Structures are given as structure tokens and as C-alpha cells.
Amino acid sequence: MLLQELARAGVSDVVVSPGSRSQALALAAVALERAGGVTVHVRLDERTAGFFALGLAVESGRPAAVVTTSGTAVANLHPAVLEAHHSGVPMIVLSADRPRELRGIGSNQTTVQPGMFGTAVSFVRDVPAPTAGNTDATTRDAVRTLARQAVAAAAGHEGQPGPVQLNTAFREPLSAGLGDAAVVGVPDAEVDLAFATRRVRSGLPIAELAPDDDPATVVIAGHDAGDDAERIAWELGAPLLAEVSSGARFGRNLVVAYRELLRDPAFGGAVRRAVVLGHPTLSREIPALLQRGDVETIVVRGAGADVYDPARAAHPDAPTTVVSDVRVAGRTRPEHRAWVGRWVVASRALLGAGDAGPDLQAKRSEDRAERNRFLRDEVALRRRPVDRAMLAEAVWGATWPHDRLVLGASQIIRVADGRVLGKKLRVHANRGLAGIDGTVSTALGIAAALEQTSAGVGTTRVLLGDLTLLHDLGAFVTGTEERTHRVQVVVGNDGGGAIFRGLEVAATTPEQDMRRMMTTPQHVDIERVVTGLGWEYRRAATWGDLERVLTDPAERVVIEVPLAD
């Protein structure tokens, strides 16, 4: 009954990890799937199940329900719940539990589950164990109300969207087999998808802005800012400083090399107003800019739990202006276009021509020597080892609007942020807490939701480092009865945590201490690991190899790229 009411309220996906205490929910879910109402996804462990549900919600915009048994199973959801909380991603935790009379007396697999996630969940209900035959109209109405309350809280009808918990108790006997006649499906006409769709109702004012006489504004687009940031930058006549997972990394005002320019007094030093959307996490230059006393900061409230406000740390008495949206009135003037033009031209100069390919004119030359030079250059290019910038640009270039790109919390996301050019793509990264865990599981959830809505068109690519891959090996373990998804996992392998090499402490710490305690070098045979788990494997040691394997039609493939830097 509870799952049916969740389906009516717009929940279309249920992720299940097997367990004894949760068997009634699991068997009801699969029966409802057969009858028509939800799609069920089985993941073998709870940590990957939580991130899989996160990915489903990221792509669909609606909460996915995740079912666990009791005890440590629930605690294994905590990383995904925290990420959902700080990213504003809706999720419904259905945690099975002992009835109240068995709590606090040492019963097996029993702990305090209601409130286990603390302030990371906005809505918690401890649901009493059902009684036999308790299906009267009053009970049905109560269950419907509970389901709609949970979905409304997760979707952010009144507060911020995020995770919620329904802790559901069950007495023994825990369940019996359900025949198909015992579960009634939920017709499409009864499903309210709009009710479950993520929304942000902040109650904050809308900022009415106009291009200033002094065109010294920048628009900063952090993670999940959305394409509204590009519109605001264009209407204000402002440079667009858009992170790679912002959803706004495109348009004529885009400044790719923003970090270098913010460090330049002629550019960053001239900024007097910043409009911030999303959650910037990939640079130190952005918070440094916003902490300056001479910069007016306007933050558009996002879906996450916290308002992005680094200025508060430096200037608690000069609060940031926080708004729900920005409307621009007035038109830009030549000085605004000149201001943007300076940033864009300087950014292009900093990026340079990149890795110039062979001269195509030489390929068609009548001079044999020139043609031979072209062939030598082309062969040399294809044999070049791959560095991080080449890898980021190749994966970015191979991804199209009907695809999805997921970036791990590795050094490579920062390299991509500083290199890849404008392109309107759906890009995701778990930047709520910027954790290293759960990246592949999240991508698989995104792929599952994408394939439900796009008739199988599009590939989900994951670009990450070797340690990020190893943190989520459980994602590759799937039951044989489950659907597979079109996913490319591209691993830049340098044998350790390169991101830590850039820390200031590396300059004063013995190299052997940094290696053992921070960069943690590893020698895992990735091919044996992933093929043993049923995935295909490709190795791309050169630029030519990489170009070839990125267009490989394999459905589930891991592409290992040994990095040259």
C-alpha cells in the first residue's frame, strides 16, 4: 500500500538491497513493477544503492525510493544521504526496522534508526508495524497522506529538496509470497509526476538588476547553476565564469581560464560585483574574490542545504544579498561589450592553440615532401601518450547533448574545468560534499533514468581517477537478473592520488611520508578486476587509442588510460 501511494505521488523508481527485515517491501516492489507502477533496481549493497538512487533523482528530478533492511544497512546510506542533503537532491529512505517492543533489548540487527541521519533529513517518520488485515479506508487514507508528505518534503514543496526517511517496522512473520492478483498496479492517469518534481521555494526576493555604468560585474556559475547563468551573464554584459559541472559552460560570454584571470589585478582586481549561481567548489580564486570587502555579492539561492556565502567568514557584518532569482532590466552598452571582450580574448590567449594537429593543407600538397611530413606528424600525434588535459578534452569532445557526463572528485575535474571549451552538455559531479565515493554508482543511476526517457539513445560517460574508481568497486557488482546500462567508465590512472601533490604541505613534507600517507600509490590490475566483475575492458595508452575506444559501441566498458603526467 505504501509503495502504491508513493507511485501515485510521482515516485517511479525503487532501489532495493536484499535483506530479511525489508523482505515485505522488496517483494511488494517487484510485484508492483509487474503490475505497472514502478521500476525496481536491485543493488547488492546499500552504499551503492544509495548513490544509485541519487543518480536516478539527479537525472529525473524526482525522488527515488531506496529500501534497506535494518541495522548497519541503513547506516551505509549515510554518504549518499549527506550528498543528497547538501546538493538538494530528493531521496526517500525506506528503512526496515524491528517493532518498538524489540528495540533497546539487544535484539539482533537493531539500533536507533529514526533520526540516524540527523539534520541531513528534513522529514522523519517512525511507521508502526502493520497488523494483519489492516487495510480499511482509514488506514489507506493515513498511508496516502504519509506518502504525499514524504514526497512533498523530498521534492522541496516548502523547504529545500533533499532526503527524507520513513522508518518502517515489521513483525514476524515478516511476509508471505505475493501473487500477481494481490497487487494492483497504478495507472498512468493516477500518477502525479509534477507533484514529485524537485523545486525550490525559498520565499526570497527577486533581484532586479541593471547593467551598471561601471561594467565591473562577473557572473559565477558553480555546480548545478543551470543555463539561467548564461542568460544573466548575457543580459548584464558580464563575463561568465562557469565551472565544468555548472550546466552553464557555453555562450559568447564564457571565460574558460577564469582562475588565472581572477589572479590578475587587471581583471580580478577590477571586479566590483559578482552574481553567484550554483555551488562553486573547484577553485580558491572564487571564494577569495567574494571575501573582498570591495566586491558586492549577490547569491541566487540554490537547491542545496546551505547558502553559498564565503564572504560571511571574512565580513560577518556585511551580509551577502541572497535572492531567489535575478531579473535584468536595461540594455548593455559598448563599454559592457568591451569589458566582456577583454576577458574572453585574454582567456583564449591563455589557453593558446592547444595541441595543434598536423597541417591539413600539407596533406593535399603537390609536394611529396610536404605530404610525407603530414604523415609523419599524424603518426607522431596518434602515438603520443595521454596527459590529463588531453584526456579531459577528448572525453568532452566525444560527449554530445543526448549523452551524460559524470566527473569524479579527482584531479581531472579541475584540469577539465581549466581546459574544456564551451558546450551545452548535461554534466554531473557529486559536489555537495565533493566526496570521492559513489561516483560510478551515481552514474549508473543517471544512465538508468536517461534510458527510461530517451528510448536508449545516449551514452553516460564517467571520467575519474584511479582512486575514485577503487572507492566504488561495489558499483560494478550487479545481480544477473538486472538490466545493464550503456556506460563508459574512463579511468585516468597515475597510480595514486595526484590531487594531493598540489597541497602546500607537499613542499615541506618528506616525499616518502606524502606517498604513504596522502597519495597512496596503488598497483591494482584494473583489467582483471573489472573483467572479473563482468565488464568489458579497453586500454588507451596513446591519443590514437583514445580516439578509437571512445567511440566503442560496448555497453558496459571500462577504459583505462595510463597518464603521462
Whether the per-residue pLDDT at 358 is higher than 60: the answer is no
| Minimum mean pLDDT range among 41-45, 305-309, 361-365, 423-427 | 361-365
Rounding to the nearest 10 degrees, give the CA dihedral for residues 210, 211, 214, 215. 140
d(CA 168, CA 176) in angstroms, rounded, equals: 17
SS3 164: strand
pLDDT of residue 442: 98
pLDDT of residue 325: 92
The amino acid at 511: E
Residue of 427, 368, 419 lying closest to 393 (CA atoms):
419
Are 328 and 306 a contacting pair, CB within 8 Å? no
**pLDDT band (50, 70, 90) for residue 362:** low
d(CA 372, CA 369) in angstroms, rounded, equals: 5
Report the chain's mean pLDDT, rounded to a whole number. Answer: 90
d(CA 19, CA 69) in angstroms, rounded, equals: 5
* Helix, strand, coil % over all residues of the chain, rounded to 5: 40, 15, 45
Whether the per-residue pLDDT at 283 is higher than 90: the answer is yes
**pLDDT band (50, 70, 90) for residue 222:** very high
Q: Other CB atoms closer than 10 Å to residue 269's CB: what's the count?
A: 12
DSSP E strands: which ranges in 184-253?
206-209, 217-221, 240-242
Which helix (H) or strand (E) covers residue 374, if one does? helix 368-382
pLDDT of residue 371: 64
d(CA 89, CA 155) in angstroms, rounded, equals: 8
Strand pairing report for 273-277 and 217-221: parallel
Q: What is the pLDDT of residues 195-219, one digit of tens each?
A: 999 987 778 899 999 887 778 999 9
pLDDT of residue 368: 72
H-assigned helices in 255-410: 258-262, 285-290, 311-314, 334-351, 360-363, 368-382, 388-398
| Minimum mean pLDDT range among 46-50, 187-191, 264-268 | 187-191
Q: To the nearest whole percent, how much of the chain has pLDDT over 70?
A: 92
Whether the per-residue pLDDT at 126 is higher than 60: the answer is yes
**pLDDT band (50, 70, 90) for residue 176:** low
Are 440 and 490 a contacting pair, CB within 8 Å? no
The amino acid at 9: A
Position with higher pLDDT, 514 vs 169: 169
CA distances from 379 to 370, 372, 551 (A): 14, 11, 20
Q: Which residues contact 125 (CB under 8 A, 6 or more apart)?
A: 114, 146, 149, 150, 165, 166, 167
Are 22 and 173 a contacting pair, CB within 8 Å? no
d(CA 43, CA 305) in angstroms, rounded, equals: 27
Q: What is the pLDDT of residues 22-57, one digit of tens each?
A: 999 999 999 999 999 999 999 999 999 999 999 999
Are 214 and 238 a contacting pair, CB within 8 Å? no
Q: Other CB atoms closer than 10 Å to residue 333's CB: what's the count?
A: 13
Are 37 and 30 a contacting pair, CB within 8 Å? no
> What is the rounded average pLDDT of the residues 523-548?
94
pLDDT of residue 351: 92
Domains and CATH numbers, the chain: 2-196 (3.40.50.970), 206-351 (3.40.50.1220), 383-562 (3.40.50.970)
> What is the rounded average pLDDT of the residues 156-162?
93
pTM exceeds 0.75, yes or no: yes
Supply angle C-alpha 127, 151, 76, rounded to 5: 65
Whether the per-residue pLDDT at 357 is higher than 60: the answer is no
Instruction: Give the length of the chain.
Output: 565
> What is the rounded average pLDDT of the residues 308-328?
85
Are 557 and 535 a contacting pair, CB within 8 Å? yes
d(CA 340, CA 344) in angstroms, rounded, equals: 6
pLDDT of residue 520: 82
Q: Which residues contact 261 (CB under 8 A, 6 or more apart)?
A: 255, 267, 268, 343, 346, 347, 350
SS (H, E, C) 60-104: HCCCEEEEECCCHHHHCCHHHHHHHHHHCCCEEEEEEECCHHHCC
pLDDT of residue 181: 61
Q: To the nearest whole percent, how much of the chain has pLDDT over 90?
A: 70
Q: What is the pLDDT of residues 386-401, one digit of tens each?
A: 999 999 999 999 999 9
Strand pairing report for 273-277 and 296-300: parallel
Are 489 and 558 a contacting pair, CB within 8 Å? yes
Whether the per-residue pLDDT at 332 is higher than 70: the answer is yes
**pLDDT band (50, 70, 90) for residue 361:** low
Are 248 and 238 a contacting pair, CB within 8 Å? no
Supply angle C-alpha 23, 27, 33, rounded to 5: 150
